[in-house]
Homo-oligomer: A and B are copies of this chain.
Amino acid sequence: LEPDQLVQQVAAMDDQPLKGIRLVLTAGPTRESLDPVRYITNHSSGRMGFAIAESAARQGADVTLVAGPVSLPTPNGVQRVDVETAEDMQKAVDEALTNGTDWFVATAAVADYRPVTRSESKIKKNKDSAPVIELQQNPDILASVAARKQNRPFTVGFAAETNNVSDYAKDKLKRKNLDMIVANDVSAPDIGFNSDRNAVEVFWEGGSQKYDARSKTELATDLLTLIHKRSRA
């Protein structure tokens, strides 16, 4: 080996710090249909999750991305599974989480509730009375993964909140038995859901780390470095 070849090989190795890691992640909103035309959803753009998927694949991880309805291209080298509802997402996550999955990162904004009934045909407007939408709870995908007794991956949640952001996040970390939670104040107009930038604070048992506003691409790589470190702690 010539010295410059050696340098190149070492550089290539260094570019793949996540080689051997199997990552399953969720991204985007879910859609809960009222009828064939109308649905309940949320403002999640999927960008943060797609940025993490892209960065992880570039760093050599084996990535499965379970995505709700978003208009984003599939990152290079990422295996993508498209879903619509929270129930679809749970099924897809259960299938993706094989024995060898190292990390589960749940960035998706999964609907907490879905309508009790879904009409097969478009609901007609009723002149006399406004309808009421009765809701029922959706499965809690993140909590169910974190509650696994066997084959439990290192489990990271996201908390998108508009107020008392870090309190809610720390409560969710404990309540759902997560290894780490990324808290995201979506009330700030310049960061969060539909922005290219994001600022977060990450919590784990006995520690936290703040990341000031930066591009979602940059933040994705920072978060993966932190997950890598904490998952071996």
By the criterion CB–CB under 8 Å, are A38 and B41 in contact?
Answer: yes
A41 and B39 in contact, given A112-B125, A130-B137, A132-B133 (Cβ under 8 angstroms): yes
Interface set, chain A 157-172, CB cutoff 8 A to B: 160-163
A136 and B130 in contact, given A36-B187, A162-B36 (Cβ under 8 angstroms): yes
Nearest residue in B to A187 (C-beta to C-beta)?
A: B36
Interface set, chain A 70-127, CB cutoff 8 A to B: 71, 109, 111-113, 121-122, 125
Using a CB–CB cutoff of 8 Å, the interface residues on chain A facing chain B are 34-43, 71, 109, 111-113, 121-122, 125, 130-137, 160-163, 186-187
A136 to B128, CA, bound (A): 11
A136 to B126, CA, bound (A): 11
**Copy number of this protein in the oligomer?**
2
By the criterion CB–CB under 8 Å, are B137 and A135 in contact?
Answer: no
Seed contacts A37-B109, A113-B131; 16 additional CB < 8 Å A-B pairs: A34-B40, A35-B162, A36-B43, A37-B162, A38-B42, A39-B41, A39-B42, A112-B125, A121-B163, A122-B162, A125-B137, A130-B134, A130-B136, A131-B135, A132-B132, A133-B133
Query: What are 17 A-B residue pairs whose CB atoms fall within 8 Å in the complex?
Result: A36-B43, A37-B42, A37-B109, A39-B40, A39-B42, A71-B71, A121-B162, A121-B163, A122-B160, A122-B161, A122-B162, A122-B186, A125-B137, A130-B136, A131-B135, A132-B133, A132-B134
A113 and B130 in contact, given A37-B160, A121-B162, A163-B121 (Cβ under 8 angstroms): yes
10 closest residue pairs by CB, A with B? A133-B133, A112-B125, A130-B135, A122-B162, A38-B42, A121-B162, A37-B42, A121-B163, A36-B162, A130-B136
By the criterion CB–CB under 8 Å, are B135 and A132 in contact?
Answer: yes
> Nearest Cβ distance between residue A50 and chain B, in whole angstroms?
15
Nearest residue in B to A161 (C-beta to C-beta)?
A: B122
Nearest residue in B to A114 (C-beta to C-beta)?
A: B130
> Nearest Cβ distance between residue A12 and chain B, in whole angstroms?
38
Kindly list chain B residues whose C-beta atoms are within 8 Å of the C-beta of A137: 125, 130
By the criterion CB–CB under 8 Å, are A39 and B43 in contact?
Answer: yes
Nearest residue in B to A36 (C-beta to C-beta)?
A: B162
